[in-house]
Amino acid sequence: MKPPLPREHGAWAMLFIPFILGWLLAPIWQGRTFLLFIASLSFFLLRHPLTVFVKRWHHPSKDWQHLQRWAVIYGGITVVSGGWLAFVEQLWWLIPSALLGGLLLLFNLWLTSKRQEMSIIAELSGIFGLTMGAALAYYVSSGEFAPLAFLLWFINFLYFGGTVFYIKLKVRQQPRLPKPESITGRFLQAKACLGYQIVVFALLTILILQGELVWGAYLIFVPATLKMIWGAWQWQDKKLLNIKRLGVIELIHTFIFAGLVWGVAG
C-alpha cells in the first residue's frame, strides 16, 4: 500500500513555496486553507499514476492495480476537500480554478502521450498550474481574489519558469557540447536561459511603471539572474556534472526567492 510519489524533487518546491507565500501574505489566516492544501497536494499526487498509465498504456505492468487504487484515493481526496471549500464554504471561484487545473493536467498528459513531457511547453504549463497555489491560498484565506493574489502567482511562475531553462542549460546542453573558448561563445550557448531573464525584467518594468509592483520587485530576481550568468560562464561538462549539487543550489535559491518575496510584499 505504499503510495506512489512523483520523483521530480523540484516540483515539490513549486507546489509548497507558492502556496506558503500566498497563505502568509493573505490579510487573514483561516484554518480552511489547510483543507485547500490537502486538495492541492492530492491533485498534485494524482498526476503521477495518471502519467504512468499514459506512458505504459500499451505495456501494462504488475503495479497497475496499485496505481489505479491510489489514483482513485488521490482523486477522491481532491474532490471531497475541494468540493467542501467550494460548496460548503461557498468559495465559488475554486470551481473555474479547478477546471483550469484539470485542463492543464489533460494537456500535460496529452504531451506525455506524444513523448513531449520534457518539452519547454510541457514544463511551463505544469509550472503555471503548480504556482496557481499562490493565488488560491490567498483567495481561500482572505475570501477574495485581490490583485496581490494574481501578482504572487505571476511572480512565482516567472521565477520557477526560469529554472526550466537553467536546468536544461546545465544538464542537457553544456555536457553534450564542446566548451567554447571565448566567454562570448559560452553566453551565446546560454541565449535561451539569459534571454528568458531579459523578458522577465522587461515584464517587471512594465508592471512597475503601471504601479502594480514596487521597484523592490527587481531584487527578487537578482540572485537567480546572477546564478544564470555564472552558470553560463562556468561550463559544466560530463565530468563536472553533479545532479545532487545542482538540486541543492536550486533549493537554496528557492528559499532566497521566497524570503525576498516575503520581504518585498510583506
DSSP assignments along 138-205, one per residue: HHHHHSS--HHHHHHHHHHHHHHHHHHHHHIIIIIIGGGSPPPSSHHHHHHHTHHHHHHHHHHHHHHH
Distance of CA 248 to the CA centre of its chain: 17
Give the count of beta carbons closer than 10 Å to the beta carbon of residue 246.
Answer: 16
Q: Indicate if 167 and 207 belong to the same structural domain.
A: yes
Domain end among 100, 121, 145: 145
Q: Indicate if 2 and 132 belong to the same structural domain.
A: yes
Q: Indicate if 139 and 193 belong to the same structural domain.
A: no
Range of the domain at 183: 146-266
Query: In the prediction, which pLDDT does 62 show?
Result: 72
Q: Indicate if 187 and 108 belong to the same structural domain.
A: no
Domain count across the chain: 2
Q: Indicate if 157 and 128 belong to the same structural domain.
A: no
Q: Indicate if 2 and 131 belong to the same structural domain.
A: yes
Q: Indicate if 153 and 127 belong to the same structural domain.
A: no
Domain end among 121, 145, 169: 145
Q: Indicate if 76 and 178 belong to the same structural domain.
A: no
Query: In the prediction, which pLDDT does 55 show?
Result: 84
Q: Indicate if 228 and 159 belong to the same structural domain.
A: yes
Query: In the prediction, which pLDDT does 202 show?
Result: 97
pLDDT tens track, the chain, 266 positions: 788 888 888 899 999 999 999 999 999 888 899 999 999 999 999 999 999 888 887 776 677 788 889 999 999 999 999 999 999 999 999 999 999 999 999 999 999 999 998 899 999 999 999 999 999 999 999 999 899 999 999 999 999 999 999 999 999 999 998 889 889 999 999 999 999 999 999 999 999 999 999 999 999 999 999 999 999 999 988 888 888 899 999 999 999 999 999 999 87
Domain end among 95, 123, 145: 145
Q: Indicate if 16 and 56 belong to the same structural domain.
A: yes
Q: Indicate if 34 and 69 belong to the same structural domain.
A: yes
Q: Indicate if 132 and 215 belong to the same structural domain.
A: no
The single-letter code of the amino acid at 131 is T
Query: In the prediction, which pLDDT does 59 show?
Result: 72
Query: In the prediction, which pLDDT does 121 show?
Result: 94
Query: In the prediction, which pLDDT does 137 show?
Result: 97
